[in-house]
Amino acid sequence: MADQAETHGLNERERAVLALAARNWSSPGAKERAVREELGMSPTRYHQLLNALLDDERALAHDPVTINRLRRIREERRARR
């Protein structure tokens, strides 16, 4: 049960997506390559999952710094449209 509390109910794939999102990247190509190699999914699928996690309170509890940073970036992009 302690493991459940530590992960806030997120599965391994969701935690991996958040961990990748939290990293700093030297270039977009490096991030896309890591998505394919480490997560075994397309960048499009990665962004779909990440966007869903940004609205998930479990993800916020798991990694509030990353989630809040990415929410701000998403809102700034939406405001520019």
Q: Is the pLDDT of residue 4 over 60?
A: no
Average pLDDT over residues 72-81: 93
Model confidence, pTM:
0.85
Of 53 and 6, more confident: 53
The three-state (H, E, C) secondary structure of 28-67, written as one string: HHHHHHHHHHHHCCCHHHHHHHHHHHHCCHHHHHHCHHHH
Which one has a higher pLDDT value, 46 or 2?
46
Distance (Å, rounded) from C-alpha 69 to C-alpha 21? 10
Answer whether residue 6 shows pLDDT above 50.
yes
Amino acid letter for position 70: L
Mean pLDDT of the chain: 91
